[in-house]
Amino acid sequence: MKITQITLYRYDIPLKAPIAISLGTIEHARNLLIEIQTSEGITGWGEGSPFWMIVGETQASGLAAAQDMARLLLGRDPLDIEGCLTALTRYLPGHPTTRSAFDMALYDLAAKAANMPLYQFLGGQKRTVVTDETIYLNSPERMVEDAQRIKANGGEAVKVKLGTNQRDDIRRVEAIRLALGDETPIRTDANQGWDVVTASAVLRTIGGWNVQYCEQPIRRWDVSGLRQVRQASPVPIMADESLFDAQDALRLVREEAIDYFNIKLSKSGGIFEALKINAIAEAAGIPCMIGCMSESRLAITANAHFASARQNVTFFDLDAPFEHALDPVVGGAIYAGYAISLPDSPGIGANVDPDFLSKLDRTVIS
Question: Cα–Cα distance between 333 and 296 in angstroms, integer?
Answer: 11
Range of the domain at 260: 120-351
Number of independent structural domains in the chain: 2
Query: What 3-state class would DSSP assign to 2?
Result: coil
Say yes or no: 359 and 285 in one domain: no
DSSP codes joined into one string, 249-302: HHHHHHTT--SEEEE-HHHHTSHHHHHHHHHHHHHHT--EEE--SS--HHHHHH
Question: Cα–Cα distance between 107 and 273 in angstroms, integer?
Answer: 12
Say yes or no: 63 and 139 in one domain: no
- What pLDDT is attached to residue 328? 97
Q: How many residues does the chain have?
A: 366
Question: Cα–Cα distance between 288 and 134 in angstroms, integer?
Answer: 18
List the one residue out of 266, 284, 166, 265 whose CA is nearest residue 217.
166
3-state secondary structure labels for all residues of 174-206: HHHHHHHCCCCCEEEECCCCCCHHHHHHHHHHH
Say yes or no: 217 and 92 in one domain: no
Say yes or no: 60 and 7 in one domain: yes
- What pLDDT is attached to residue 257? 98
Per-block mean pLDDT, blocks of 10 residues, the chain (366 long): 98 89 83 98 97 90 97 98 97 94 98 98 95 95 96 96 96 97 96 97 97 97 97 98 97 98 97 98 98 97 98 97 96 96 97 96 97
- Which helix (H) or strand (E) segment holds residue 335: the answer is strand 334-336
Say yes or no: 304 and 330 in one domain: yes
Domain containing residue 84: CATH number: 3.30.390.10
Task: Record the pTM.
Answer: 0.96
Say yes or no: 50 and 164 in one domain: no
DSSP code of residue 308: H
| Binding-site residues from annotation for Mg(2+) | 189, 215, 240
The answer to whether residues 38 and 12 touch, using CB atoms and an 8 Å cutoff, is no
Say yes or no: 133 and 107 in one domain: no
- What pLDDT is attached to residue 20? 75
Say yes or no: 137 and 109 in one domain: no
Say yes or no: 16 and 137 in one domain: no
Residues 6 or more apart in contact with residue 96 via CB below 8 angstroms? 55, 57, 244, 245, 266, 267, 268, 269, 270, 273
- What pLDDT is attached to residue 237? 98
Say yes or no: 60 and 162 in one domain: no
- Which helix (H) or strand (E) segment holds residue 141: the answer is helix 140-152
List the one residue out of 285, 288, 235, 243 whose CA is nearest residue 268.
243
Say yes or no: 95 and 142 in one domain: no
Question: Cα–Cα distance between 352 and 231 in angstroms, integer?
Answer: 46
* Residues recognised as catalytic: 161, 264
Domain containing residue 131: CATH number: 3.20.20.120
The answer to whether residues 188 and 210 touch, using CB atoms and an 8 Å cutoff, is no
Q: How distant, in Å, are the alpha carbons of 19, 276, 277, 330 from that of 167?
A: 22, 39, 35, 45
| Binding-site residues from annotation | 189, 215, 240
- What pLDDT is attached to residue 28? 83
Which amino acid does the sequence have at 26? I
Say yes or no: 36 and 75 in one domain: yes
List the one residue out of 313, 312, 299 whose CA is nearest residue 266.
299
